[in-house]
Every structure is written in structure tokens, then in C-alpha cells.
Structure 1
Amino acid sequence: MISKRAQNLSPSETLKITARAKELAREGKSIVSLSAGEPDFKTPSHICNAAIEAITNGFHGYTMNTGMPELREAISHKLKRDNRLDYDSGQIVCSNGAKQSIGFTLLATINPGDEVIIPAPYWVSYPEMVKMAEGVPVTVKTDFSNNYKLTAEQLADAITKKTKAIILCSPSNPTGACYTDEELRELADVLADHPDILILSDEIYEYIVFDDHHTSILNAAPELKDRTVIINGFSKGFAMTGWRLGYMAGPKQIADAVAKIQSQETSAPSSISQKAGLAAYTGPMKPIEEMRKAFRERRDFIVAELNSISGVECFTPSGAFYVFPDVQGILGKSTPSGKRLQTTTDLALYLLEEHGVATVPGDAFGEPGGLRLSYAASMSDLQEASKRLKTGISELT
């Protein structure tokens, strides 16, 4: 009865760990969750007020399938203002979240058997969405020594005659690493020899960059524009995860194909959310600056705490709100009850069930030596989580 397509998919490990943490909390166990990938801030008031006004004024019907013209114009203006990229509204399709934009773009461009290069560690949904499009995910293992960033040499080695696309994410989920202009230029030089390869650039964390500025691959290599799709949205930078609003911007042919799929699958995103998104891109950015400042303080704290634990190494990420420490120095040790922690999944479950700290195992991201911790949590929660981590790891033998 169940299709092979559904049977071939794996459930989201991040959602799985989060669900287990909530289950334990309902049972009365004290849980500090560092697993969820969403800001702990409230959506800025001017964005909420725009949504309330839309409801009050009765703006709750269907919009155009690709999104309100005003919103797509605002996105076009934002791409020019913040990213120095030129897209007209006809090249933009608004969706129910950046995840949907990625999925529909893959459905619009990938044929059965096409290979899609995905640097690991990767966001858990990338390989599964490629499979859903009947493509073949080709994961490329990157190195902790290079902050888990794909090198030009690794990219060149991964390309075959079947390669159709590559997915890049900067700032990265799960590592927080950001590619520099020079690194993106080196990747672009490899791609220049393969003009049929599509680039999906996931830039959903662009407003959460600490040490420099966000750089799109099209800033480093504007000549790739005719085969690059920019994926973005409002969830992370504006603390709008539950509003479900994202978009793609790319070549008109691809945008039209995505729009066609969307018209049959979901139609446009919520009209109320679109009004909120319009306010986000046309309103003040001060709340975003305040969130970024708080995230930076939390990052500095958690990185220092992790590096003080024997067997743990953690680089300082340049963006997003995750750290991805190397915990290979812990794997192989045993818990007080005698259970050997052979994988990061074993470690994550031990920390959750015995010490009440929810993390996500690197296994879920294609990197068996790492562990993802989200610092989208209050400083008091991070301090408590740090104490529990140190206690839990110190008890291992």
C-alpha cells in the first residue's frame, strides 16, 4: 500500500530528538533543549502588527500562486539592497518556507538518476528531498580542520557525467561555518568547467553572520547567475519559523517550473504571512541586530565551554546559531551503567536521557564524529546545559 518513494525516505532526526525531549519533559524530567533550529526570540512587533492589520482588514483570501506582487517586489528590492543581486519579481516564487522552495526546485530540475552533490555535514533534509525527486544524493565528507567546508579539489573529485546539481548552505546548518569570497570563487572556478551543473544556494541564515558579511556565491561569481537558484526565507533572521514563508529566486525558466509544481501542490503561502513578510523586508532592522548581538554572546560562551571539556574540540562558527564540536575523543567510552557509546546517536541519547540535555547526533548530518548544539536558547539555559554536559561527560570511562 505504501509507495517505494515514501519507504525510501528517512524521518527527520532533528524532529525525532526534539520529540523525544518533549516526551521526557511531559514525564516530568528536567530537559534543557539545544536541539531545535529556531530562534527563541519573539517575532518583532512591527511584523506581528502587520499580520494583525491584515486579519482585521479582511486580507485572508488566496493570493497569486507565486505570492503577492508587493511581496515579490520587496524581495527583489531586498536582494538588490542587501545582496547586490538583480532579480525581477517574475524570477521569484514565494512558498510555505525555504524547505518547500528547495524541494520544489529539486522536483522542477532533477530527473531520475541525476546526481546531486551535497557537502557533509549537511542539513538532514537535503538528501531525502533529492531522493524524493528520484535523484541520487552524492555526499562529500568535509574536514573539521577546514571548518567542514567543501574544497575545490573535493568538488572536482565528486563531479561525474551524471552530476546535475550541487547544494551549498552558507551560513551552514549544522556547523555555522560561512564560506569566504575566495572559497566560493575557487568552487566557481571548478563549476566553470561544467556549465550544465545547477547550483542551489541556501542562504536562510544570511542575517546571522558575526565576524564579516554574508556572501552569496553570486557575489563571488556573478557569471553563474543563469544556473543558480537562491533559496531564502524569513524564519531564522526574523524569528518567524511558524509563519512558514520562504522563497526562491532564479532563472525565469526554473521559477516558472517551480510555480507550476506549486500551483498543483500547495498554491501560495498564507496571505497573512505574506503581509508579515512584507513588513519584515520593508521595516526596521534594529530587532535583527539585537538578536544577532545576543546570538554572538551565546556563541562565544558555548564555544569556550565546549573547548574546556576533555575529548571535545569546537571551532568558532561565523554564522547561524549552531556549534558542531568534534566529539571523537569521547566515542568508545562507557556510561556508568556500562553502556559503550559507539556513535554520536548513543552519545546524544545518553546526554538526553541521563542528564537532560537535548542535542542532535552528527550521524543525522552525515558526520559521525560531530554533535550539533543549537544556542538559540537563553543564556541561563546554556549555562545549565554546560554544567550537565560537563557532568555527563566526566562520568564516562
Structure 2
Amino acid sequence: MVIRGSLAVATGTLLAVAVWVALRRDDGSSTLVVLLAVPFAVVAATVFARPFPSNSPHRYGWLTVLTLLWIALASEEATATYLALVLFVLYLLLLPSPWGAVVTGVVTALAVVLSAAVAGPSTGAILGPVLSGVAAIAIAAVVQSLSAVSESRRQLIDELVRTRGLLAESERQAGIITERERLAHEIHDTVAQGLSSIQLLLHAAEREIPEDSPALPRMILARDTAAQSLRETRAIIAALQPDDLQGSSFPEALRRLAASASGDGLEVTVDIEDAADDSCPELPMKVEAGLLRIAQSAVSNVRQHSGAARARITLTVEPASVRLDIVDDGSGFDPAEVEGRSVERAGEGHIGMSAMRHRARSIGGTLEVESSPGQGTAVVVSVPRGAKPDRTGDRQ
């Protein structure tokens, strides 16, 4: 907008000077100069009304008409030759490279010829158009530089807006998942456990009531109702818990994780220890969900950063605790250095290890990382059986 306004002011000023000089001379050519100046001003205003640089296919036609009008003006009035400065800027801004520079050079030579023919050969007749061309090149270079910076900033702003939108959506989805898991855990620990206890108590009470007692049918109906409510509650819990755990056991979810992570030179295997028939005793749902999320994060780190060829997920269920080990033969790292970097970059979203530690604490466990450069990495999560979950972690 500023460049177009400046060119419009320069065009108006140069046209006014050319018309004023022609009117003062009063040799009969002033009328023709005025008649040519009016369409020149109209066409120039049409060109200036469009953004620079313009990609309109009509720009070639407008520039051609403007150039022809300028030649006619310069042929009648020597001072109109200086309008070439405006034309040079337009050529350089609106014509594709290198044609803008080529046309500028040709018109510069033409301006010298016209100036010398109308005003007579002189140093000014030569230097004027040449200096105008140099000035136009400088102006065009500044404008193009500003346009490039402006476009770069626009693209950066657009990218930031898109990134912010994606981040907001990611945080929203993460919040939804966390809240669904929290609700599933709460329902499991309260409503489902209460209904299960009611069912057991009613069943025990049935055995103590005589068969001919009128209360027995109502006791059986109450027990059946509690059983039906328990089934519906468990269906709700299943719908709220992580998709990977729905309809399958925790070991099966780990095997699916290993299968999906294997490939591209990485082999991931799963071992279930201290469990009969390659299965494990049922763990609290919150513990299973937390361990699965930690395993997913650890395996993702192995794929992205370690360069490992093999990784092993080992689940060990003991009477007093549950332990999950993710071990790889990758390049390893310095845990202290990575932890420090994660703290510094937490504001940028680089919270992988911190997030795993936080999730381990939320299920009442601990997480340790053992690694050194060139020696592979072991992530060890240990959760005591019957550990109290960290409710603070649930709310964060």
C-alpha cells in the first residue's frame, strides 16, 4: 500500500510538471500533452489499484498501454521522459525475472533517445534516464525484499496458528482420555465393587432364608437386579477404558504393541514371567492402563531415538509387586543429561521421561531408567500390589 501510494504521488507530480512546462511553452503542443496525460493518469491509477506484485494476466496489457502513452508524451515533452522512473519500478515489480530487468534496459535506452531527440543531446538527456533506471532498480529491490519478509512472516503466523490449533486439539483429546480413564477407575472402585458386594451378600442371605419364606423371591429378584446392574456397570467401564485393553487381557495388549512396533530393523518381543499358562493374574484396571501407556511411550522412544535392533518387554507379576521392563540394545544415553534437558524444554512439550514418571506415580509405582552411551537402555516400572494411586496425578 505504501509503495503504490508513493508511485501514485510520483506519477501525479511528474505528470503535473510535464503539463505545466508544456503550457508555459505555448507552442501548440500543450493541448496534445494534456490529452495524453489524462489517459496516462487513468491507466496508471488502474495499475496502482492492484496489489504488488500482481499475478493478474491483464498486467501485460496495462503495462503495454502505459508504455505507449509514455512514448507519445515523451515525444512531445522532454520532461515527461522522467515518467520512465515509474515505468521502471512497475516493470521490475510486475514482470517475471529476468524480463523486468530486460525491459527496463530497453526502455532506458529508448528514454535516452527520446530525451536527446526532443531536448537536444546533452549530459542531462543521458544521465537522467540512466539514473532513473538505477533508482528504480534500488526501489524494486527494497520492495521485493520487504514483500519476501512480509510473506515469510505471514507463512510463519499461519503455521503458528495451525500448530496452536493442533496443540489445543491434542491437549483436548488427552484431557478427554485422562478423564475417561479416571471415571472408569472411580466407577470400578466404587459402584462396581459395591454391586459385587451386594450380590455376594444377597446370595449368602438366600441360603439362610427358608425356602417357603415369602421374602425369598424378593431376595432372588434383588440379587438378579444387582447382577444385571453389575454387568451394565462393567460394560460402561469397558467403554471408558483404553481401546487397547478392551476385549483382551493385558498381556495380549502388550503383544499387540510389540507387533505394531516391530519393523524397519527393530524386533520387539514380550515375555510374561511368573504366570501360569502364559497369562497373568488380573491386575487393577488403573494399573494395567498406566503400565500400558508407559510401555507405549518407552517403545516409541526406542523407535525414534535408540537405533536399536531388538527390544524386549518383560512383565513380571509377583505376590507383592508388578514389574514392567522395557530393554533395548540401542545407542543409550546419559539419563541425567536427558532429564535436565527435558526440564529445560518442558515448556516446548518435550516431557517424555517426565510423563512416564508421572504416570508411574499415578498408579502408586516408581520408574527407573538405566542407560549409558553405547550400552542400551532399560526402563523399569515397579508397582506394589495393592498400592494406593496418586490422586493428585489423576487431576493433573
TM-score grouping bracket, smaller chain normalisation: under 0.3
Return the index of the structure with the highest Cα Rg: 2
Which structure is higher in helix share? Answer: 2
TM-score (norm 2): 0.20
Specify which structure has the bigger relative contact order, considering alpha-carbon pairs within 8 angstroms and separated by 6 or more residues.
1
